Structure 1
Amino acid sequence: MKTRTIGKSDLKVFPIGLGSMGMSEFYGKTDEKQSIKTLHKALDIGVNFIDTADVYGIGDNEELLRKAYSDRWNDLVLATKFGFVRDKNNPEVRQLNGSPEYVKSACEASLKRLGREAIDLYYLHRVDPNTPIEETVGAMAELVKEGKVRYIGLSEVSGDTLRRAHKVHPITAVQTEYSIWSRDVEQTTMSVIEELGISLVPYSPLGRGFLSGTIKDTSELSENDFRHTVPRFQKEFFESNKTLLSRIEQLADKKNVTPAQLSLAWLLHKGENIIPIPGTKHEKYLIENAKAVDVELTQEEMQYLDDTYNTVAGERYNANGMKFTNL
């Protein structure tokens, strides 16, 4: 079984993890029974790095993982996150809180929902601009000392913020959107991540499903699918981005792999410290994604895929969402 080590920790995981966000919210209809089957299948085929957050379903996703894994926690590495604050009575409103007091209360709440005594990897979901990163990470470090968290991570941070945080306590992983069509991190944070020996955990490594080639028209998305708010999925940009997808599909056909497998293989070839976490609710796609570890790419093929980035149209979040990135 192929494995990668998360940062400088003792956490060894399959090179491709599983993001569980869509099992509870954001990507249309949910099905708990189906999701639990997929979560079980992940461990059965060796996918043992599972990612969640307290904000997904406003706690529901962590509770879903407890239902699926209460008797199998020792078989996986669990990552969860805190920082976004939402109210079930008004879920569209989001605030950020990285205060030391909130760090501790959020962790306690996650542990309770998960039914665990400790979290393997605990991320700050987004940097709170009203709280110095040193204070937030200092509180996270105390959780490590108390045995409630094993390792800590950050999400969507700038290189400067990462350096400041790492001086307070070693950062094990940085999570950010990273894929063939989302490459901001290469300019903002990648060099610091590599210098400090940190793992990069790309979320949405398949471009929120676009790079899989399964979404031919945005009208196929359910009415409550949050991708309707993403500029790249707006009609004019979506049609333009099909040029990028076409290039990926051409090479995938040539190599007899799926566009999703090719896109994940591109990430894996970018560095041994990279561990993507594609999300899916379906066993079929889980298995397909896992097989990407066997796809080999030449330097010429990597360059061909690198060049597709020049054709990307539209931002990866709307204006409000972009405010929370690269802080």
Structure 2
Amino acid sequence: MEYRKLGETDLSVSAITFGAWAAGGWMWGGNDDQAAIEAMKAAYDLGITTIDTAPIYGQGKSEELVGQAIKGIPRDKVQILTKYGMRWDTTQGTFGFKSKDNDGHDLDVYKFAGKDSIIKECEDSLKRLGTDYIDLYQIHWPDASTPIAETMEAIIRLQEQGKVREAGVSNYNVQQMQEAEQTIKLASNQVPFSMVKRDIEQDVIPYCIENHKSILAYSPMERGLLTGKMKPGQQFGEGDHRAGLKFFKDENIRRTNAFLEKIKPLADEKNATLGQLVIRWTIEHPGITVALVGARNAEQATQNAKAIEVKLSTDEIDFINKQLNELQLVD
């Protein structure tokens, strides 16, 4: 495995990080708890020492499973990344969206990052994770109802108490990062980035490179689209959020698969899967520190970890980018 420093901090993380959203089951059509725990353990055994989770993933469930998976591992050998600012148990803040929990009950999600709320959230996360500190604490989504300075002051307090090591943001634009930086030193921004979703190349990536901030790329496989296993007419289970996304329109699946066919010979040449090639391309991209990749079972986690063994030359990356620049998705 390769390890990289987050921003200008002393915190090192694995270049491939375990993304534990699907582990919570929520918005992924459920999950198997034991398989999720085994996936995290298998990832750790192959050098993926960093796990990213959030309270909203399964309304605490993902964090609890992470806590079970890391039990027995020396705390300084694993890096726990979690988030705050998405509440399902209060109506404070900015209304986010309607959802359903894992039992099918209606759920209203609010973006709220008030000071007292964050302090409470942190305590709850520490309990679920079974630890006394969080390595990287990230605001999950911007909250228009709370001044950014107030939010970041709460994180400074948690740092002073030793409950949080480093501060990060998620889904922040450049202006929001700049505002946060007036109060606190940020390590990173966690944002969506994949071969078919590259809008952050315009602003967030240049800003982060210039200001020595890390980027944690989430959904680098575009929720399974870039594995090459999806086919037009793909059916998703009840509660699976992918059903309504443009990436999974039949025409876009067709176009993406045509692109993947062009780069498949390169994957074959390296005895790699398409997914492994995609992960390696992601962490080779300028400005990207980490690729967050989920796995539902130990076999998937093992496949993801082995992406680190794939080596790409400059010419090979140029070849992939050339094919990619010809890919146009429909809205």
Find the counterpart in structure 2 of residue 37 from structure 1.
Answer: 38
**Aligned residues of 1:211 and 1:245 also touching (Cα < 8 A):** yes
**Does residue 84 in structure 1 map to residue 86 in structure 2?**
yes
C-alpha distance after superposition, 1:255-306 (max 9, x if no partner)? 4321111111111211475111111112222122212222222223222322
Q: Give the conservation status (yes or no) of the 8 Å contact 1:24–1:60.
A: yes
CA 1:218–1:29: 2 relative to 1, 3 Å: farther
Give runs of ≥4 in structure 1 deviating > 6 Å: none
* Runs of 5+ unmatched residues, structure 1: 316-327
| Structure with the higher fraction of residues in strand conformation | 2
Identity between Structure 1 and Structure 2 (%): 31
Q: Aligned partners of 1:133 and 1:91: how far apart in 2? A: 30
Q: Check whether the contact 2:39–2:301 (CA below 8 A) recurs between aligned residues.
A: yes
Give the Cα separation in 2 of the matches to 1:175 and 1:276: 10
Q: Distance in 2 between matches of 1:309 and 1:29?
A: 35
- TM-score, normalised by the number of residues in structure 1: 0.89
Tell me if the contact between 1:177 and 1:202 (Cα under 8 Å) persists in the aligned partners.
yes
Aligned residue number for residue 329 of structure 2 = 313
- What does residue 18 of structure 2 align with? 18
The correspondence for 2:302, drawn from 265, 277, 287, is: 287
Aligned residue for 1:286, secondary structure, equals helix
CA distance in 2, matches of 1:134, 1:314: 39
Q: Which residue of 1 aligns with 2:110?
A: 95
Match of 2:177 in 1: 162
Q: Give the counterpart of 1:222 among 230, 237, 242.
A: 237
Q: Within the alignment, does 1:113 sit opposite 2:128 as a pair?
A: yes
Distance 1:183 1:108, change over 3 A: same
Which range moves more in the overlay, 108-117 or 300-309?
300-309
**CA RMSD in angstroms, aligned pairs only:** 2.0
Q: In terms of mean alpha carbon deviation, does 109-118 or 271-280 score higher?
A: 271-280
Is 1:238 matched with 2:240?
no
Post-superposition Cα deviations, 1:33-81, rounded to whole Å, max 9, x if no partner, equal 1111111112211110101000000111111112222322332100001
CA drift at 1:248: 3.3
What is the rounded CA distance, in whole Å, between the counterparts of 2:206 and 2:287 in structure 1?
14
TM-score when scaled to structure 2? 0.88
Distance 1:314 1:51, change over 3 A: farther
* Matching residue of 1:301: 316
Which amino acid letter does the alignment assign opposite residue 86 of structure 1?
W
Q: Which amino acid aligns with 1:44?
A: D
Residue pair 2:252, 2:329 contacting (<8 A) in 1 also:
yes
Tell me the matched-pair count. Answer: 315
1:203-214 to 2 correspondences below 5 Å: 203-214=218-229
Residue number among 128, 143, 147 corresponding to 2:162 in the alignment? 147
Per the TM alignment, residue 218 of structure 1 is displaced from its structure 2 partner at its CA by: 4.8
